[in-house]
Amino acid sequence: MSRLRQELAQFFDQIPLTRDQVVGYRFIFFTTIAVDAWLRIPFATRPGLCGFNVAHFEWLDPFLPTPTPLFMRLLQFGQLYLALGAAVGLATRGWLQLLTALYGVSYFISVSDSYAHHYLGFLLVGMWTFTDQKNLLAVRWPFRLMLVQYGIVYFWAAVGKITPGWISGEMMFDQELPSWMRLGIFQLSQAAHLDIVQVWGFIAQSVVITEMLLAFAITFNAVRPLLFLVGVGLHFFILFLELRIGQFSWFMFCAYALVLPDAWRNVLVKLLRRIPVPAVGWDRVLPRWLAALVGVAAVLPLLSIPLDGMALAAAFFVGLLVLHQGAPTLHRLALHVAACTLVVGLAMSTSVVKVVLEGLGVGLFSCNQRAEAQRHLDLLVKHYPDYPEGQVYAGEVRLAENQLEAARPFYERALALDPNNATARQRLDNLPPLATPP
């Protein structure tokens, strides 16, 4: 038993890593977490609508509050801020624990977030809480555990595909794949005089074998250049297929920063060191004048947040800034303010504001909360008057209230913006004609 314990301790504690490798992985991983949090903000309007919600686990329902769109947006913005700070080395253990808690609550609180890679992200962020942020190589076992977790993902993906339908190629043939891929495989089967299902079967079997090889190679940090290229290529291929699996491939790309072949890593480090940045910590990179400028510029977006409740998000970020126990240097403060500025800037971005207003308006309308729905949809058409669907939604909520003449201008505006809008045209055709003056 003691021998097994020694071997396990050696396996976990003696993983070969360099500081540059861990810093690179930290930057890539937490940047991915931040981007994913930003992409999830528009969908934060779904949980808890109509006062109804189901958690991922039944036993969590009594403990977790019924989410609201504002609560979910605060969770996502909090993750975005904390992940950006962690990516550039600002995080402490408490910082990472808070990020893990926010990430876990935002995922487990509602089954409307059904992406399995968010469960993977929660586990990996949780493993980061056991690392030593002051000396990244002092505690190595969490990084081995991360590789084991990546390996489990590959292993389970391979095992789950070992079914007659997948091995024969029938399931892959039935996938929603781009037309260029289907045409290319058809032409290949014709040129080689092969049955097209057999070609799909070969591709499907190759995927299973590749995932099984990657499972063991990543777990034991034995990825060689060829297998490294195959693994990265596999995930690029998944991206090109445009499968509806969120940012799964980007989460898996992160693993390859920890298993980058030594020769390639050395070349990459030499190239990065040629960049004319002082060889000091992240908290001293920004010059004082730039730090002061960033601090002043950060005040402006905080005063003009367009969405209801976003002032609470700003207060939340300021609170994190004040409570942070790191070195109170102006440079470190500037990085915090820069992260806050970026978060607020993203909150004000056109894509986020438009989708949030639309999601809230449509969701509240479906819950029969028409007054609140109309308020959000009116904001949508006010800020985005050239968005035809917004005009249609604003007309729909008035039509439901039997405000026929109030709905008419919105349908007319939608049809002017998009002459092919079938809903707007149908509604106008069904409205009674305007009364002509005598």
CA distance 177 to 169: 13
Label residue 193 left, alpha or beta by phi (over 0 means left) and psi (-120 to 50 means alpha).
left
Is the Cβ–Cβ distance between 11 and 144 less than 8 Å? yes
As a CATH number, domain 351-430 is: 1.25.40.10
Most confident of 65-79, 358-372, 391-405: 391-405
In this predicted structure, the answer to whether residue 394 has a pLDDT above a threshold of 60 is yes
pLDDT average, residue stretch 129-152: 90
Which of residues 109 and 305 earns the better pLDDT score?
109
First to last CA, the chain: 100
Higher pLDDT, 283 or 46: 46
Mean pLDDT of 94-114: 86
pLDDT at 362 over 70: yes
Token duo for residue 218 = 């990543």
Q: Is the pLDDT of residue 338 over 70?
A: no
pLDDT of residue 336: 60
Q: Which of 128-132, 199-203, 405-409 has the highest mean pLDDT?
A: 128-132
**% of the chain exceeding 90 in pLDDT:** 10
Domain ranges of the chain: 16-139, 142-264, 286-348, 351-430
Mean pLDDT value of segment 313-320: 47
Encode 16-41: b = buried (16+ Cβ within 10 Å), e = exposed: ebeeebbebbbbbbbbbbbbbbbebb
What is the per-residue pLDDT for 349? 53
At position 359, the amino acid (one-letter code) is G
pLDDT number for residue 385: 85
pLDDT band at 297 (very low <50, low <70, confident <90, very high): very low
The tokens for 334 are 């500037």
- Alpha-helical (H) ranges within 53-160 are 69-87, 93-108, 116-128, 141-160
246 or 237, greater pLDDT: 237
The answer to whether 398 and 407 are in contact (CB under 8 A) is yes
pLDDT band, residue 238 (cuts 50/70/90):
confident
- Across residues 112-120, what is the average pLDDT? 80
**When comparing pLDDT for 369 and 155, which is higher?**
155
CA distance 75 to 103: 8
Task: Say which range, 94-108, 130-144, 179-193, 293-307, has the weakest mean pLDDT.
Answer: 293-307
- Please tell me the pTM assigned to this model: 0.74
Residue 291 confidence (pLDDT): 42
Cα 384 to chain centroid, rounded = 25
Q: What is the pLDDT of residues 84-93, one digit of tens each?
A: 778 877 788 8
Determine which helix (DSSP H) or strand (DSSP E) holds 333, and give its type and residue range.
helix 330-347
Res 199 pLDDT > 50 = yes
- Does the pLDDT of residue 125 top 90, yes or no? yes
